[in-house]
Structure 1
């Protein structure tokens, strides 16, 4: 539960909306209790009255109608306010989470995809509804129970203590016991859900290989194991909730029987009349409606506690790359040097070893080689997504470990094979490269990548919406949007990591032929499997973690 308290500042920012939701929830519950109690008194009094002509039915009838309307309106207001608050909290939680995920890039080395999806979706959802389905109902039930205890103390004193003991056992002790009993099962549900997502994602992504290599049955078995684990954890939660629900009903019955016995004594002593006793008994039943909801709330609270622990594990993780204590300035220019660099995702098995490389400012250089040779690792080192295990990576003589992250990202840009086109306007997609770019700069870069005519033909031109992941564009057009975005940046060095992935041979060749001219005046490093055209200054070949310059044969 301590992890949930760590999110108190986010909840505190919405305290006004939470108090309004709590007040409306309390009004709804109070109106329900009053409605049932008044109805019980009214019907009993009407049945017992022998003076029908003098019994005033209008005031109680108006009261019943009034409480009904109040309950309906308060319930509507509670839903409106509660869901608005939840959506605002969801936004704050996601912003909080993303702010803590970015320094941990690359995430694949820390979290599996299924685990990451769980943290981004299920864990955040468990917290954003925490007040609506757990904290709010608990608070409302406690306040309603306190008010009902006061009413009984005034009208039926002997029943007040019995009611208070049993009601607060139902709204406090049972939920607390349920949370404690379900904590391990709640954590298991979260972990098993992440494992199942990972198994399903792996099965979908690798389906073709799994079929071709006869590993489909093993993948299905892995998914089944994760599903059974999740099902078993959910059954444990369900059993706990069922036992807690039964306990609440027993306590509610005990409170009703206790009040009834005390009421009979008070009725015989003429300390209370029959209609009032009937109204109080029905009000007691209505008040326990709040306690019945708390079983579900406690179950959600157990899941939220596990989710909060996992999200806090992100918040307390050390950044993958540490910012320098005292950042040093970087001289202008785009000279790149790798000096005796060694790096391995497993340090015992280096991907590159004793690698030295020098690229002059303004050169356009291609780095080729077989898969697994370490080409993309060079890109990660240049962007300082990873640090070398040994050796130094320099930009204009400055060790990248001494350069502030913001300065490095301003000086070196990256375009990868899976650079995304976002579901947004052409303008918004381009301005990711330079936020303040005006329309003239946007048209200029579109002209450079030969997309200006295409964009001019779109409805809205720069304001035209491109589909999610660029689905309204051809593969070549999507690549050129990403290229334009990268060129729009003011970086001195641009790294292209397999920028022609997914293109056919003709589009690939056209793309690479144009790159040296498009990046003229800046250092361009192109990591590729493709045939390198003669327009490049040099071609370097990486094999077994070592690099060599090879004769540049025109394509």
Structure 2
């Protein structure tokens, strides 16, 4: 429950909508109980009256119809307002999570799989946003209805009030609390197993070709089947616990009903209560437990919501990889870069060891070397996505830890091998780098990247929709569009990580020649496996064993 309370400010932001849903839920439940009670009294009174023709049928029948309509309209309004508030909460939850996730990227927890992260960003948020509708609201509504009916029993049938109050409290408070206690682990297992299943699906989709080529698809399918079996087992266990609790609620409801009937008959024989009133109270008691039935079914959702909240707060409260200084220094005008005796690793052997590098403003430097030699790690340090364990990294003579991260990122642009094209227009993809860029600036960047003629030939030009991941353009065109986006930025330093991945040799050479001209006057550091065309950079270094040669 503590994990859910961490989100109380977000729930309170939708207090008006949830409050209206709760009020309408109370009205619906009260109308249902009143409908049963009035119907029981009306039918019994009409049957027992000695002057049936003289019995006033109109007022009770009008009440029955009125309570029916009130119940229907209140239930509809509850759904409308509750789901509207829930959808608004969903948007706020996602905004809250992303706002806390971005400063923590890349995540320091390297055991967190991609599929598990996707699961936390989707299904865990979905589980959390239903917590009020399926658990908190029904409990509050049931307590109000049960307390009200117990008060009516104190007035009309005092001997049954205590019995009803005890049974109702056990059904609404004790049993759900006990179910939460015993099903916490089951709810956590369901969320964890579901995340494992989603991760297995993503792994199977991403690696389908390799699994098929190497003939191990059957093994992967067997592994996924085992994961799905564990998920089903966890869900069955949770369902069994809920079924036992539902049975216990029904037993309590029967006990309250039978006990009220027995005590009511004793009161009837002494003349302490009329028959029609007793019949109405019996049906009202039965109706009041309608509010308890949904609670037990909702507790399983509450336990999964609690587990989801724990997983979300684990990400949101993870320590950031780097922190801004309390009083950031001003961003230097001069853009020289220097790494001095830098040592850096990810918890194991150092990837970079005693590395030194100095890059003058406007210089173009290429760094080559085998995979795993630390080239990408060097760029991460220059972007201050991480800090070295030893040594210093400076920009214009000022250590990066003394600068605000926003200033560092504003002065530095990155083009990586994974830089995406989003499912949007070419214009929107470019404006990511410079939201205030006009059409002239966009065409200039496209021209500098050597892809202006291609875009101008498109029927919609800049407003052409690019498919997800750039699937509507070739690999070379996608790379050049990403280069245009990088060039559009006002950053004075450009970092490129394997920018020619997927290109043939002719396209590689053309890309580097374009970059050399387009980025003139800016500092460029490019790490690559590709052979650098002669004259396209000022200096070429080789990374070996965490050092530059």
Q: What is the TM-score of this pair, normalised by structure 2?
A: 0.93
Q: Which runs of 5+ in 2 are unaligned?
A: none
Shift of 1:56: 2.4
Report what 2:309 is aligned to. 308
Q: Distance in 1 between matches of 2:245 and 2:106?
A: 44
In structure 2, relative to structure 1, the CA distance for the partners of 1:465 and 1:35 (3 Å cut) is farther
Q: Counterparts of 1:136-151 in structure 2 under 5 Å?
A: 136-151=137-152
Is contact 1:321–1:386 with CA below 8 Å preserved after alignment?
yes
**Within 1, Cα distance between the matches of 2:459 and 2:72?**
47
Please state how far the C-alpha of 1:267 moved relative to its aligned partner: 1.9
Alignment partner, residue 63 of structure 1: 63
The answer for the alignment partner of 1:22 in structure 2 is: 22
Residues 427-457 of structure 1, C-alpha deviation per residue, up to 9 Å, x if partnerless?
Answer: 3322211222233322322333344444455
Does 1:468 find its partner at 2:468? yes
Change (3 A) 1:142 1:539: same
Q: How far apart, in 2, do the equivalents of 1:209 and 1:378 lie? A: 30
TM-superposed deviation, 1:546 = 2.7
Q: Distance in 2 between matches of 1:49 and 1:458?
A: 87
Deviation at 1:178, TM superposition (A): 0.3
Query: Contact conserved, 1:237 with 1:299, CA < 8 A, in 2?
Result: yes
Q: How does 1:358-377 map to 2 (within 5 A)?
A: 358-377=358-377
The match for 1:553 is none
Are 1:334 and 1:522, in contact at CA under 8 Å, matched by a contact in 2? no
Structure 1 stretch 196-205 or stretch 57-66: which is displaced more?
196-205
State how far apart, in whole Å, the 2-side matches of 1:215 and 1:365 are. 43
Secondary structure of residue in 2 paired with 1:435: coil
| Greater Cα shift, 379-388 or 14-23 | 379-388
Between stretches 385-394 and 138-147, larger displacement belongs to 385-394
Q: CA deviation at 1:224?
A: 4.3
Match of 1:438 in 2: 438
Q: For the residues of structure 1 that align with 2:471 and 2:27, how far apart are their CA atoms?
A: 50
Determine whether 1:487 maps to 2:481.
Answer: no
Aligned equivalents of 1:69 and 1:511: distance in 2? 71
- Verify the 8 A CA contact 1:179 1:302 in the aligned structure 2: yes
Q: How many residues align?
A: 547
- Cα displacement string for residues 305-364 of structure 1 (whole angstroms, at most 9, x for unaligned residues): 2222222222332111122243223422332222222222233x2222222222221122
- Give 1:91 deviation, angstroms: 1.2
Report the CA distance between 1:539 and its aligned residue: 2.2
Corresponding position of 1:76: 76
Q: 2:177 aligned with 1:176, yes or no? A: yes
Counting only pairs closer than 5 Å after superposition, residues 183-202 of structure 1 correspond to structure 2 as 183-202=184-203
Runs of 4+ in 1 over 6 A off after TM superposition: none
Q: Is the contact made by 1:333 and 1:492 (CA closer than 8 Å) also made in structure 2? A: no
Give CA-to-partner distance per residue, 1:71-92, whole Å, 9 cap, x none: 1211111111111111111111
Residue 172 of structure 1 and its aligned partner are, at CA, apart by: 0.5
Give the equivalent residue in structure 1 for 2:233.
Answer: 232
Q: Is the 8 A contact 2:3 2:306 kept in 1?
A: yes
CA distance in 2, matches of 1:28, 1:463: 51
Counterpart of 2:129?
A: 128
* Alpha-carbon distance change, 355 to 196 in structure 1, aligned in 2, over 3 angstroms: same
Q: CA deviation at 1:221?
A: 5.1
Deviations 1:500-521 (A, max 9, x none): 2233444333222201111111
* 1:211 positional shift: 4.8
How far did 1:196 drift? 3.1
For 1:467 and 1:26, locate their aligned partners in 2 and report how far apart those are by CA, in whole Å: 49
Q: Which residue of 1 aligns with 2:113?
A: 112
Superposition RMSD on alpha carbons, in Å? 2.2
TM-score scaled by length of structure 1: 0.93
Matched, 1:498 2:492: no
> Contact 1:344/1:352 (CA < 8 Å) preserved in 2?
yes
Q: Give the conservation status (yes or no) of the 8 Å contact 2:448–2:514.
A: no
